Structure 1
């Protein structure tokens, strides 16, 4: 099979993209690429702790390639870090040319990724693109995916949703204007279990804090009986 990386946020869409790619059997995901923010030691946007990220990677049976960006990084800094991570991946897996993304329907984001990958000599894959997000959310839940909302944009969704389980009850409670998968950035999730993991993660809910006067982040930590916090092999 054709080797590929997967852009991994630690959230449900990336996790379900991994499941979909494995089910299709046309490419082999050999590693995860994750952007983290310096000083926070957390996944950018999602705010997921680095140790939780690596526990997810172990459960998926894949190594992580880390792309670090400074706080308040501009797009040029992000692209430089992304390019460096891809270069390191190609050193580890010579000839690899594909990277998959969990984007669902935002055409402008897809076009931007396609342009960036083309400039860097990579081919992007979008295994979930064009999905009906209501049906996709229900399929994720029916398929055994378990996740919690770890970040809520309070300009779009009430902060009380932060920390809630991504389940049928949540879907019923979401206002009509909110996408069921949060594709407009209304919320982000932290995955703890699903068919893409060999074993579920044991996570404990921490505090919820408001950052930048807008984003409500709920912290999730490895529980005492969860996977060890040591890191998997690095690329």
Structure 2
């Protein structure tokens, strides 16, 4: 059995990926690794507060390894910090495998595999090429529950942000929008899962619009990284629903 780290965004893909990784008799997931934005103090691109991330880790029963990134990371800086985090896990927990919830982006998979090979690590993609309808049906049938916390307004208007990720949400998606949000149409936060010790009580707070544009010398590596704030009205606009821990949440 090989020790593995789950690259964890807190959203539906990484949550379902972890479900399958935990059922793989050849893997033992020992840690969660999440990229966060130092400037905004939020999960990269998802906009989720760190305390919600820690609530997920506590309910899963796995230690969380945060990877803090500056507001405008260069590719070199991203790779350096990621390599340092993974090296730490190699040394501390004998991790030899990195697990990702990617679905279809072949160039992203190739990039990950190339970077990990240089570090003496393997990559695993438990839900790779799983059809969207099958993946989402499994997500709902297993009892996962999630809130849509970010939408790209080029694909979805603000009304979709903050909604429950359920079958009604999928039915309302406009034509051309990937049901799994594989092209960055939306991101989610999972507040209940079959391997959670208990659900996370969440409260929907304000919606905020932010405008981003890809950094000039960067190639996106995670659909979450390498973005920087810009006042340019023609850059990509995103809506975020701020989630708060409910008043009856356990301290984390």
What's 1:233 paired with? none
Q: What SS class does the counterpart of residue 152 from structure 1 fall into?
A: strand
Structure 1 unpaired stretches of 5+ = 230-235
Distance in 2 of aligned mates of 1:34 and 1:102:
13
What's 1:45 paired with? 45
Aligned-pair CA distance for 1:227 = 2.5
Cα contact 1:16–1:196 (8 A) shared by 2: no
Cα contact 1:67–1:84 (8 A) shared by 2: no
Aligned-pair CA distance for 1:226 = 1.1
Is 1:219 aligned to residue 218 of structure 2?
Answer: no
Equivalences for residues 58-73 of structure 1 within 5 A: 58-73=58-73
Length-normalised TM-score, structure 1: 0.94
Deviations 1:189-229, CA, capped at 9 Å, x for gaps: 00100113121111111111000160101111111101313
Is 1:108 aligned to residue 107 of structure 2?
Answer: yes
Distance in 1 of aligned mates of 2:87 and 2:78:
14
Q: What SS class does the counterpart of residue 97 from structure 1 fall into?
A: strand
Is 1:184 aligned to residue 183 of structure 2?
Answer: yes
For the aligned residue pairs, the C-alpha RMSD in angstroms reads 1.1
Aligned-pair CA distance for 1:29 = 0.5
Equivalences for residues 197-216 of structure 1 within 5 A: 197-212=196-211, 214-216=237-239
What's 2:225 paired with? none
Distance in 2 of aligned mates of 1:194 and 1:146:
7
Structure 2 unpaired stretches of 5+ = 212-235
Deviations 1:163-213, CA, capped at 9 Å, x for gaps: 111101001111121111101100000010011312111111111100016
User: Segments of 4+ in structure 1 off by > 6 A?
Assistant: none
Kindly tell me the number of residue pairs found equivalent between the two proteins.
Answer: 228
Deviations 1:114-139, CA, capped at 9 Å, x for gaps: 11111222111000001001221121
Q: What SS class does the counterpart of residue 240 from structure 2 fall into?
A: strand
Distance in 2 of aligned mates of 1:134 and 1:14:
17
